């Protein structure tokens, strides 16, 4: 496993406390609802129009930040109220690059857990990241990634001692 500063690249670890249905991680309806609700108002500076307060299955989008140190941080909240951060980066075409929890055509989504690639991702957080990825996969054909957005490798080269939690 590759050590990556502050980003989980490990496999998702199951937890017995998860109350969310596994269907949430692939729920087309949950993503379609957000897209339908936000289509008329695509706020500038958000991640492809993903607004704070949006429900992605069992997860609530608490905040979507502008590009910060090459990534777009998204803070999610679980049904039980736990908050966690996922970082959306430009997808790296290098075959040796670490894969995100989910990868789309243009983006990779990583859970920011300060694990340097050595900490397993909690299942509930991994599935929340998957919902963000599902949203991105549907919307990415409409908007190009922001120019300031980098790959994970480029971000780590540019900010080797970065504090990436928002």
What CA–CA distance (Å, rounded) separates 163 from 147? 21
- Count Cβ atoms below 10 Å from residue 142 Cβ, excluding itself: 11
Reference 89, options 107, 63, 64, 114; nearest CA is 107
- Count Cβ atoms below 10 Å from residue 62 Cβ, excluding itself: 15
Which residues does residue 54 pair with via DSSP β-bridges, in sequence order?
none
> Can you read off the two tokens belonging to residue 147?
């120019």
The pLDDT mean for the chain works out to 77
Which residues does residue 68 pair with via DSSP β-bridges, in sequence order?
71
Residues 83-133: tens digit of each pLDDT? 999 999 999 999 888 889 999 999 999 999 776 666 788 899 999 999 999
CB-based contacts of 147, cutoff 8 Å, min separation 6: none
What is the Cβ-side half-sphere exposure of residue 155, based on CA atoms within 13 angstroms? 29
Residues 126-154: tens digit of each pLDDT? 999 999 999 999 988 887 888 899 999 89
With b meaning 16 or more CB within 10 Å and e meaning fewer, what string describes 67-84? bebbbbbbbbbbeeeeeb
Domain boundaries of the chain, sorted by first residue: 12-158
């Amino acid at each position: 496993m590759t050590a990556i500063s502050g980003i989980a690249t490990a496999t998702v670890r199951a937890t017995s406390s998860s109350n969310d249905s596994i269907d949430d991680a692939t729920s087309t309806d949950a993503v379609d609802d957000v897209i339908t609700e936000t289509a008329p108002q695509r706020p500038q500076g958000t991640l492809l129009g993903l607004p704070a307060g949006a429900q992605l299955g069992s997860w609530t989008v608490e905040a979507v930040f502008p590009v910060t140190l090459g990534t777009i941080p998204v803070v999610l909240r679980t049904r039980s109220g736990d908050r966690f951060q996922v970082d959306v980066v430009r997808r790296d075409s290098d075959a040796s690059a670490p894969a995100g929890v989910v990868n789309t055509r243009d983006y990779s989504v990583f859970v920011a857990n300060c694990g340097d690639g050595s900490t397993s991702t909690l299942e509930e957080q991994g599935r929340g990241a998957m919902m963000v990825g599902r949203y991105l996969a549907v919307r990415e054909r409409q908007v190009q990634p922001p120019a300031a957005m980098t790959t994970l490798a480029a971000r780590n080269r540019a900010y080797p001692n970065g504090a990436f939690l928002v």
